[in-house]
Structure 1
Amino acid sequence: MTGCLSVAWRPVLGRVSGETFVPPRVFAADDGDATACGSVGDEGDAFYCAASLGIYFDWEMFAAVDDGDRLDTEIDLMDMVAHEYGHHMQLLSGIDERYELRYDDTTGEAQLRLTRRMELQASCFAAAFLGANRRSLGLTGDRLEHLMSTIEVGDDPESGPADHGSAESNRYWGQAAFKSGSPRSCNTWSAPVERVK
């Protein structure tokens, strides 16, 4: 999956920034394993760590599933890797640096809004990649239906901060990017506030 993502994103990065392309490293880790960005599990089931240029995920969550859930788990893993790879592209393109500068100058809801813009863009980048490669990834029928329901997952206000976007916002960005198959659909930074809730 990451090899395919690298083939897709390398020319895009060259066109938009001229920066040197470096693929991320992928770590299938155990819950509690230490990384340069915190422990696996503390940051969620998966996360991107800029300090190590790495995508970390709790492998047991994806490996220990019943055969009946295998299809759903495969699609969840595909979407997760594509989302975290989106964060890698934000880092390589300079988006992450601009985010960090703006984040440090804000507080409270303004910081959450910036974080939602960042997370929604990473999800949008994932959907654009998956949409552009839907045939080769076999995203039809039940597989496509599960992906569409995964794209629509938003923040649960009862379990933590509203930092990844509502179901409505994720649906808006994800469906548009999947349909277009282009990261041009992912400019969350100039979108009005109602699109990044």
Structure 2
Amino acid sequence: MRWEGDRQSDNIEDRRGGGGGGGFGIGGGTVGIGTIVVALIGSWFFGVSPSTILSLLSGGSPAQVQQAPAHPPANDRETQFVRTVLGYTEDTWTQIFRANGATYSPPHLVLYSGRTPTGGCGTGQSAVGPFYCPADRKVYIDLTFFRMMQQRFKVGGEFTQAYVIAHEVGHHVQNLLGISGKVDSARQHLSERDANAASVRLELQADCFAGVWAYHTNQAKQIIEQGDIESALNAASAIGDDALQRQSRGEVVPDSFTHGTSAQRVRWFKRGLETGSVEQCNTFEARAL
């Protein structure tokens, strides 16, 4: 992936080395090991912090905790890369929003190590991977996750990492458009099976939005090199609900899917990448995913 020398975003909070506060802030009720396992599996990739899930399952609400101190972002290559990709997402979504008569408000991206408090989504922990917190409109990433992704799923490369970041920013776009809020409200009145199905459509749309980002950024900057798309598609396939369940529990339970199958994640990312059209990402009206 070509990215060196391009604009880097200033919307970065670097909390690495600043401590992360306490553990899960869970209110009300008790949480068993089984519930914790469900929360960790359900949010392993591209979801919200498991503490949010745990809090809701235990009858409480997301904990409010003090923010960890931020420091000026480091200047190593990995940090420069994240700042550049975030800058790409800002440029792409600013252009798309402007073309539709709207103003894009970019998220902040928080770099942390181990764990960190959030502004409404409990305590983020590195074990769950990157996540977006709609309450404070921030993306949270422990960069060791990318090395873990290479070790566990044998997928890597900078374009794959950019896809991960773009997916989380896709959730921010959904938040700005009011899509995620509507889905969250609807899920409260649905059965567990139907609520999970709604979550799948939300996640697949974020995959499609990541593809839209890649299309427009490549048009403007020619960032994609040979092998980049294949690596991103391999990552999308590796993190499908069916693949994750098969790896973690040895069986697949479709009614419990929250992110979509490997084939679905690949299909929707490719749709965004090939069309560059937000309108093509309407997973909620698609008859077949």
Distance 1:148 1:79 in 2: 10
| Cα separation, 2, equivalents of 1:142 and 1:29 | 29
Residue 204 of structure 2 is matched in structure 1 by 120
- Is 1:157 aligned to residue 245 of structure 2? yes
Distance 2:87 2:223 in 1: 17
Asked if 1:141 is matched to 2:226, the reply is yes
Name the % identity. Answer: 25
Cross-structure match for 1:2: 86
Question: In the alignment, residue 258 of structure 2 is paired with which amino acid?
Answer: D
Give, in whole Å, the separation in 2 of the partners of 1:44 and 1:17: 36
Larger mean Cα displacement after TM superposition, 36-45 or 119-128: 36-45
Q: Could you report, residue by residue, the CA deviation over 1:124-179 in whole angstroms, capped at 9, with x for unpaired residues?
A: 10011112323625323122221222233311224484111001111221112111
Does structure 1 retain, via aligned residues, the 8 Å contact 2:157–2:231? Answer: no
Match of 2:107 in 1: 24
Amino acid at match of 2:116: D
Shift of 1:40: 2.4
The separation in 1 between residues aligned to 2:236 and 2:147, in whole angstroms, is 21
Bigger Rg, which one: 2
What amino acid is the match of 2:183? Y
TM (normalized to structure 2)?
0.59
Superposed displacement of residue 41, structure 1: 2.8
61, 67, 77: which one pairs with 2:161? 77
Higher mean alpha-carbon deviation, 111-120 vs 101-110, is at 101-110
Equivalent of 1:182 in 277, 280, 287? 277
Q: Where in structure 2 are there 5+ consecutive unaligned residues?
A: 1-84, 250-255
After superposition, the C-alpha distances for 1:80-126 in whole angstroms (9 at most, x for unaligned) are 11000000000111111211121111121100000001000011100
Does the 8 Å CA contact 1:173/1:185 hold for their aligned counterparts? no
TM-score (norm 1): 0.84
State how far apart, in whole Å, the 2-side matches of 1:145 and 1:29 are: 29
Q: Distance in 2 between matches of 1:34 and 1:128?
A: 31
Mapped to 1, the partners of 2:260 and 2:127 lie a distance apart of 17
Structure 1 consecutive aligned stretches of length 4 or more whose deviation exceeds 6 Å = 63-66
CA spacing shift, 1:17–1:116, aligned 2, 3 Å: farther
Name the amino acid aligned to 1:108.
Answer: E
Decide whether aligned partners of structure 1 residues 121 and 81 sit closer, same or farther in structure 2, where only a CA change above 3 A counts.
same
Amino acid in the other structure paired with 1:24: P
The number of equivalent residue pairs is 189
| Equivalent residue for 1:171, pick from 266, 272, 275 | 266
| Superposition CA RMSD, Å | 2.5
Question: Per-residue displacement from partner, 1:34-78 (whole Å, max 9, x unpaired)?
Answer: 223132237820000011110001122237899xxxx92422320
